[in-house]
């Protein structure tokens, strides 16, 4: 099994290598791929060293699966060339997500859509992945009418330049290069990606459009606000859901606890009669935080409570490691699906 990782030297690419190893993906030959600038450098994987090559060289080497995390420009140019050579491409950029001829996949939700001949498969946006993992089973049971979501997205979602900027600011230095137009340390930026004509950012509209495509339901109304926060790892989301069907809170908790990939961490427990009671002391109340989700593949959900302002509504708080389940892990899980289906 020859597996290419395109963008192997980047933050997500390095996580892809780590997760391929952790999940014992059957890699017989790794083909690390990066730009001409990094070509010729070496990467260690499972005790062996591999020489970083160019995309053209990876095709020549006969890659069977290619995990892409090198930006939309690289994906647009090279994914079709890999596909033409009979290599399955799983792309982590935004390039192919809304292409009607390409599948957009979260394995736990819509892995069934992958078929023979799907040589380019899109990996969703990190914020969309964790939100939909958390709420997909709730939608099946109670039918979501409307989602209002505010994200608190860490700087690793932007990349190494953002990390360097924040660390320089934190040390009282002037950053050599800037990923953001304003200071990020001790600040919040309500601006991720470019602004569109409707006043929303591209990142916000990704959450709208990708939700409809993955859930296969255009009727779900989605109102997003995405914010960049000075956190090194892990995206957080405040999610408000309005359902068509009535529910008891016990049903919400039991559905979430039974959802694949979700861990419930909540500071209340429901007594007989459905009344929440606080548990623990102020020092150890359980709820999801980026501090404790690093290097984890699960999506953590807490602060689960009924919304008294709307009929059939709830609020919840959702946190996940954006470089893992929000990117690299989901990509590797799609590759595992290709093997399970006998497509590779």
* Global confidence as pTM: 0.93
**What are the start and end residues of each CATH 3.40.50.720 domain in the chain?**
2-123+326-340
Known active-site residue 235: yes
In sequence order, what are the residues at sequence separation of 6 or more whose Cβ sits closer than 8 angstroms to the Cβ of residue 281?
A: none
165 near 158, Cβ under 8 Å?
Answer: no
Q: Domain 2-123+326-340: give its CATH superfamily.
A: NAD(P)-binding Rossmann-like Domain (3.40.50.720)
d(CA 156, CA 229): 10
User: DSSP H helical segments within the chain, as ranges?
Assistant: 11-22, 55-60, 72-84, 107-110, 126-142, 160-170, 202-215, 249-257, 290-293, 329-340
pLDDT averaged per 10 residues, the chain (length 344): 96 96 97 86 94 96 97 97 98 97 98 97 98 98 98 95 96 95 97 97 98 98 98 96 97 97 83 46 75 95 96 98 97 98 95
- Residue 24 confidence (pLDDT): 97
Q: Whats the size of the chain, residue-wise?
A: 344
**Burial degree of 156 (CB within 10 A; 0-12, 13-18, 19+):** buried
Packing angle, helices 126-142 and 249-257, rounded to 10: 130
CATH of domain 128-322: 3.30.360.10
Report strand pairing: 48-51 vs 42-45: antiparallel
Catalytic-role residue among 87, 95, 139, 235: 235
Residue 171 CB contacts under 8 Å (≥ 6 apart), including other chains:
none
pLDDT recorded at residue 283: 58
Q: Check 126, 139, 154, 318 and give the catalytic one.
A: 126
Q: What's the pLDDT score for residue 284?
A: 64
The pairing of strands 235-243 and 313-320 is antiparallel
User: Cα(43)–Cα(17) distance, rounded to whole angstroms?
Assistant: 10
pLDDT at 269: 57
User: What span, in angstroms and rounded, lies between the C-alpha atoms of 23 and 118?
Assistant: 23
What single DSSP character describes residue 125? P
**Structure tokens given for 313:** 């509504």
Give the helix/strand (H/E) hosting 45.
strand 42-45
Residue 73: partners with Cβ closer than 8 Å, 6 or more residues away: none
Question: Which residues in the chain are classed under CATH 3.30.360.10?
Answer: 128-322
For residue 332, the SS3 value is helix
- Tell which residue, 170, 124, 166, has the closest CA to residue 329: 124
Q: How many C-beta neighbours within 10 Å does residue 291 have?
A: 11
Contact by Cβ (8 Å): 1, 87: no
The pLDDT, as a whole number, for residue 36 is: 76
What three-state secondary structure class fits 16? helix
| Inter-residue contact 144 to 243 (CB < 8 Å) | yes
Residue 53, class by beta-carbon neighbours within 10 Å (0-12 exposed, 13-18 middle, 19+ buried)?
buried
Long-range contacts of 265-273 (CB under 8 A, 24+ apart): 265/300, 265/301, 265/302, 266/301, 266/302, 266/303, 266/304, 267/302, 267/303, 268/304, 268/305
Can you give the pLDDT at residue 320?
98
């Amino acid at each position: 099994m020859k597996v290419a990782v395109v963008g192997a030297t980047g933050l997500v690419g390095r996580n892809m290598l780590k997760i391929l190893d952790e999940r014992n993906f059957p890699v017989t030959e790794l083909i690390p791929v990066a730009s001409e600038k990094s070509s010729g450098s070496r990467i260690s994987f499972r005790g062996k060293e591999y020489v970083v090559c160019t995309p053209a060289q990876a095709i020549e080497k006969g890659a069977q699966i290619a995990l892409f995390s090198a930006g939309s420009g690289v994906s647009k140019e090279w994914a079709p060339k890999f596909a033409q050579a009979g290599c399955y491409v799983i792309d982590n950029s935004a390039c192919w997500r809304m292409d009607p001829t390409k599948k957009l996949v979260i394995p736990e939700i819509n892995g069934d859509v992958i078929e023979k001949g799907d040589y380019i498969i899109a990996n969703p946006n990190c914020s969309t992945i964790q939100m939909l993992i958390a709420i997909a089973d709730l939608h099946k049971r109670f039918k979501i009418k409307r989602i209002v979501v505010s994200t608190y997205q860490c700087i690793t979602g932007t990349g190494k330049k953002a990390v360097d900027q924040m660390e320089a600011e934190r040390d009282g230095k002037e950053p050599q290069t800037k990923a953001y137009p304003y200071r990020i340390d001790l600040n919040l930026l309500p601006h991720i990606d470019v602004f569109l004509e409707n006043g929303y950012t591209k990142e916000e509209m990704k959450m709208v459009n990708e939700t409809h495509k993955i859930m296969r339901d255009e009727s779900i109304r989605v109102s997003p606000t995405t914010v960049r926060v000075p956190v090194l790892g892990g995206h957080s989301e405040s999610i408000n859901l309005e359902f068509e069907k009535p529910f008891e809170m016990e049903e919400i908790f039991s559905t979430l606890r039974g959802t694949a990939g979700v861990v419930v961490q909540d500071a209340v427990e429901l007594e007989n009669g459905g009344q929440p009671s606080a548990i623990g002391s102020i020092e150890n109340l359980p709820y999801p935080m980026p501090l404790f989700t690093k290097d984890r593949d699960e999506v953590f959900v807490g602060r689960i409570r009924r919304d008294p302002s709307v009929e059939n509504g709830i609020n919840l708080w959702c946190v996940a490691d954006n470089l893992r389940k929000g990117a690299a892990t989901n990509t590797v899980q799609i590759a595992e699906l290709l093997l399970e289906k006998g497509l590779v």
